[in-house]
């Protein structure tokens, strides 16, 4: 049975004050506070800019020994058709402190909806795997053209995990399927805002969604499939607006029996 790591996609959100974090918490203390409740976090800032190794070194020091980081691959490595080798080297150096501390759960390579299944893009995936072969890797597709058995066979062949997703049921988006293609299972909950998925003024509007307990129950058997066939499984909530990700991560962790909701946080949620 796999070890389960539940957390959120990102942790440094100002609108989590008074919802998950104390109102007066400093940004530098957010990660250490977060780590009291969750065993893992997904780092999204690395998608937008490659951080310095010192940034990740500091993060490691603010978390306990068993804490795990899932680090999103920089967009220049996933969204560009031609990638200079120096960028792979720069990204690898950046995450080395986490890997050396044995806190790197995996890298997450998220591709855009425009990244459709084709031989050219299969070759791009193979290159990414080869360039980052020192690290465990999981890939998230946004385009439903990848939801075919051939994709899962290919990922198994190159040793890359598949990211299962919960998102709106819309034509062209990935379906809700539970598949493990490596020793790492991975699930991301994006919310089900169909009306704002493509049409929104602010990015957060896409993820302004709070799952109900019944909606989360749908995923219990799917997660059990992953747990039965992997060494570790990561479950992250990306519906981050106003701390909804933290609320749902705690609820789902409690439903799975791996994160007890402590009294202080229950009181905090009731008063939010």
Task: Return the DSSP state at 107.
Answer: E
Residue of higher predicted confidence among 98 and 169: 98
**For range 215-227, the mean pLDDT:** 96
To the nearest 10 degrees (0 to 180), the angle between helices 244-256 and 220-227 is 70
Cα–Cα distances in angstroms (integers) from residue 51 to residues 68, 72, 110, 152, 227, in the given order: 18, 11, 17, 31, 32
What residues pair up with 161 in beta bridges, in sequence order? 138
pTM exceeds cut of 0.75: yes
Cα–Cα distances in angstroms (integers) from residue 33 to residues 38, 192, 235, 265, 269, in the given order: 9, 28, 19, 12, 15
pLDDT value of residue 93: 96
Domains and CATH numbers, the chain: 3-271 (3.20.20.410)
**Given the DSSP bridges, would you call strands 161-166 and 104-110 parallel, antiparallel or unpaired?**
unpaired
What residues pair up with 166 in beta bridges, in sequence order? 189
Check whether 194 has a pLDDT greater than 90.
no
Mean of per-residue pLDDT scores for the chain: 92
**For range 114-119, the mean pLDDT:** 96
Q: Which two tokens stand for residue 254?
A: 């409690």
φ/ψ region of 146 (left if φ > 0, alpha if ψ in -120 to 50, else beta) reads alpha
Closest residue by Cα to residue 5 from 33, 37, 32, 39: 39
Cα–Cα distances in angstroms (integers) from residue 13 to residues 23, 44, 45, 101, 262, in the given order: 12, 12, 12, 25, 22
């Amino acid at each position: 049975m796999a070890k389960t790591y539940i957390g959120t996609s990102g942790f440094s959100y100002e609108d989590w004050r008074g919802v998950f974090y104390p109102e007066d918490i400093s940004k530098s203390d957010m990660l250490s506070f977060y780590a009291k409740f969750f065993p893992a976090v997904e780092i999204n800032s690395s998608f937008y800019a490659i951080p310095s190794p010192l940034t990740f070194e500091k993060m490691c020091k603010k978390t306990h020994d068993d804490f795990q980081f899932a680090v999103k691959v920089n967009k220049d490595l996933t969204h560009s058709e031609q990638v200079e080798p120096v960028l792979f080297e720069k990204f690898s150096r950046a995450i080395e402190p986490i890997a050396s501390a044995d806190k790197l759960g995996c890298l997450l390579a998220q591709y855009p909806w425009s990244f459709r299944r084709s031989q050219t893009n299969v070759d791009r995936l193979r290159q990414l795997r080869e360039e980052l072969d020192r690290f465990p890797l999981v890939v998230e597709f946004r385009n439903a053209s990848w939801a075919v058995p051939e994709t899962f066979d290919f990922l198994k062949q190159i040793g890359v995990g598949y990211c299962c997703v919960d998102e709106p049921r819309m034509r062209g988006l990935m379906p809700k399927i539970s598949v493990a293609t490596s020793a790492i299972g991975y699930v991301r909950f994006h919310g089900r805002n169909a009306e704002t998925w493509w049409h929104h003024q602010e990015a957060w509007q896409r993820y302004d969604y709070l799952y109900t307990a019944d909606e989360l129950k749908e995923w219990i058997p799917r997660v059990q499939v992953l747990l039965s066939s992997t060494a570790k499984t990561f479950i992250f909530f990306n519906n981050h607006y106003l701390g909804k990700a933290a609320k749902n991560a705690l609820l789902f962790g409690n439903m799975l029996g791996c994160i007890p909701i402590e009294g202080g946080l229950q009181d905090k949620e009731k008063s939010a």
